[in-house]
């Protein structure tokens, strides 16, 4: 479980393929604080540490993860957001985030304002029931509040601290992003669909 409050950014140092799996070697100041089998959110994707070597560590993405996230677009040198799992007793400064990305979206607008940055995103119509005005969403691992919500579009605003300490600073129009919707909303929608016989498949 995560909170969507990014600890640090890191660099994709190496990418290797093995069958349908992809191994990502990440260079990070957190590497020496990790251990094998530990879960870390990478742009909001929960991945398991499988190897540690000095200031680098390796995680593996299987085909399902590659299909549902933007990991398949990563290149060496890319900057990604990192968050370690929530510890019992920690303050929950964001919202409950599982690290299980639901789908990807696309940045369709970026505006530089006086003291903040505005981003607008679009996403698949099938997930429209999972967003509400002033609700929570996780974008590339960052817990944010939605506004100007449309059927398959929404806007967020980024404060300077978040802009400087996450990869939002490098995000541009046309980029693909990872989206995880509020888990409470997903359970509520699931119960309603089962009750009403309107169960839908979302991709």
Domains and CATH numbers, the chain: 8-84 (2.40.30.20), 103-196 (2.40.30.20)
- Segment 12-68, tens digit of pLDDT: 999 999 999 999 999 999 999 999 999 999 999 999 999 999 999 999 999 999 999
Window from 5-14, 88-97, 169-178 with minimum mean pLDDT: 88-97
| Residue 81: its H or E element | strand 79-84
| pLDDT exceeds cutoff 90 at 95 | no
Which residues make beta-bridge pairs with 199? none
Question: Average of pLDDT values for 90-114?
Answer: 90
Q: How confident is the model at residue 71 (pLDDT cuts 50, 70, 90)?
A: very high
Measured between its terminal Cα atoms, the distance across the chain in Å is 23
**How much is the pLDDT for 123?**
97
Check whether 115 has a pLDDT greater than 80.
yes
Which tens digit of pLDDT belongs to each residue from 141-196? 999 999 999 999 999 999 999 999 999 999 999 999 999 999 888 888 888 888 87
CA distances from 192 to 55, 97, 133, 189 (A): 47, 22, 20, 5
Inform me whether the pLDDT recorded for 73 exceeds 80: yes
Would you put residue 161 in left (φ > 0), alpha (ψ -120 to 50) or beta? alpha
pTM of the model: 0.90
């Amino acid at each position: 479980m995560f909170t969507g409050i990014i600890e640090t950014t890191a660099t994709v140092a190496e990418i290797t393929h093995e069958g349908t799996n992809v191994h990502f070697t990440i260079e990070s100041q957190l590497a020496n604080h990790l251990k094998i089998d530990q879960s870390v959110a990478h742009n909001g994707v929960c991945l398991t540490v499988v190897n540690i070597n000095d200031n680098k560590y390796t995680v593996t993405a299987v085909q399902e993860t590659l299909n549902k996230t933007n990991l398949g677009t990563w290149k060496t040198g890319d900057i990604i957001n990192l968050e370690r799992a929530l510890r019992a007793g920690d303050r929950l400064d964001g919202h409950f985030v599982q690290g299980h990305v639901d789908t990807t979206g696309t940045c369709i607008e970026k505006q530089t304002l006086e003291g903040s940055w505005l981003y607008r995103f679009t996403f698949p119509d099938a997930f429209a029931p999972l967003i509400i005005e002033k609700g929570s969403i996780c974008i590339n691992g960052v817990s944010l509040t939605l506004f100007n919500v449309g059927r398959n579009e929404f806007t967020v605003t980024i404060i300077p601290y978040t802009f400087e300490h996450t990869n939002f600073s490098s995000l541009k129009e046309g980029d693909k992003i990872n989206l995880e919707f509020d888990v409470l909303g997903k359970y509520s929608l699931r119960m309603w669909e089962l009750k009403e016989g309107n169960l839908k498949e979302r991709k």
